[in-house]
Every structure is written in structure tokens, then in C-alpha cells.
Structure 1
Amino acid sequence: MKKADLAAALAEQAGSTRRRPEPLPPPPPIPATGAERAEAAEATYRQPSRDGTAPITAHFPKEVRRQLKGLANELDRTMHDLIAEAFNDLFAKHGKAEICPRGQ
């Protein structure tokens, strides 16, 4: 964004005809469809370590996060590692391969 020009603002306010401010460039268009939004999102930077991954989001009471974070601290592990362990335990319980990577 261009820095405000005090002289131009004062001249415009006073009705000067000698100095006209430059028009602002139009904002970039907002994608209308879901596919266009997905394309725009793909064009943004993504950390190389995130390649081949997808976020998994779930909402729980704040106390669940506090307890998980405390346990990770007690065990000197990351929350990611504990969650991966929990997913692998769940997969094993239901006869699925333990495919969740740990130790990141």
C-alpha cells in the first residue's frame, strides 16, 4: 500500500486543481467459486515439511488441550507425537495398520 501524501491530501481538501492525487490500484479480485479459491490457496507458500500431509482438526474443551500439553511436557515429548501414538493405538484396536508417523 502506498504511503499517504500529506501535501496531496491538503491540496485536495483545499480544492486545488494544480495537484491531483494518483488513483489507488484496484484490489485483486476475490475468487468466486470453490475451485478458484482452491487454486488460489495452492498458489500460496507451503512449508516443504508439510508436503504430502493434511491437517486434521477437532475441537475439544480447553482442559483437554491443557492436559495433553502437560502430559507432553511430563514425558518430554511433543503433542504431535502423543496424538500420533493415540491414532496408532486406535488403528491397532480396530485392526488397521499403524501408519501415523511419530517423532516430528
Structure 2
Amino acid sequence: MSAAAPRKSSLQALLDKQAAPPAPEPVQVAEAESVKPEKAAKPKFSRPSREGTKFVGGHFPPKVAKELKLLAVTEDTSTQALLEEAIDLLFVKKGRGRIIHPERA
């Protein structure tokens, strides 16, 4: 049988720990400033029906949006078509003439 190692007292374990060399400090890796990983270029999504057009919009109370949608359903058309009609009528009223192309109206 092999002889068991003598058991250390808690005082001896503490003394051994203090005598051991200190653990090295963790090394902090400096991050490069303002270096971001490059993103892969995504192809820009576009709708062919929107080519040659610009977005025109506004913020209105929710009731206005709801009524416009209800009118579109009632008229069996789209809010886009109703807005085109309204803008066209506004320009006629202001003496600018019709601006919406007849094939779109």
C-alpha cells in the first residue's frame, strides 16, 4: 500500500497560497476605433411600377386615413387612385391644369 500524503492544515494551505506567484493579469485586447465589419452590399429592392415617380405624403388624423380607405373600398379603387384624383382636382382649382396623366387617372 502506498503511504497517503500528510494532510495540510488550513493554515498551511493559506501560507502556501500566499507564497505562490500571483496570477498574471488578464490581457485586454484594444479594439480598433471606428472599425466596423463591412456589410455585404445588398441589391436595392425596387418596384418597376414606382420607377419615374416620387413619394408625396402627409400626416393626418387616423379618422382621415380610415375614411379614405373606406371610400376606396366603396368606389372599388385604391387610395392611390383617390389621392391622384384629389391632387389633380386641386391643381385644376388653383389654375395649374391637370397634371396626372390620363392613363393613370
Q: TM-score, normalised by structure 2?
A: 0.55
Match of 1:64 in 2: 64
Match of 2:90 in 1: 90
CA distance in 2 between counterparts of 1:49 and 1:59 reads 24
> What's the Cα RMSD here?
2.5
Point out which structure has higher relative CO (alpha carbons under 8 A, 6+ apart): 1
Match of 2:79 in 1: 79
CA distance in 1 between counterparts of 2:48 and 2:74 reads 30
User: Structure 1, residues 57-95: CA drift from partner, whole Å, max 9, x if none?
Assistant: 200001000000001111111111111110010000011
> Can you give the 5+ residue segments of structure 1 that lack an aligned partner in the other structure?
1-24, 30-39
CA distance in 2 between counterparts of 1:76 and 1:89 reads 20
Match of 1:26 in 2: 37
> Can you give the 5+ residue segments of structure 2 that lack an aligned partner in the other structure?
1-35
State the number of aligned residues.
67
User: Structure 1, residues 18-42: CA drift from partner, whole Å, max 9, x if none?
Assistant: xxxxxxx92439xxxxxxxxxx9xx
Higher percent of residues as helix: 1
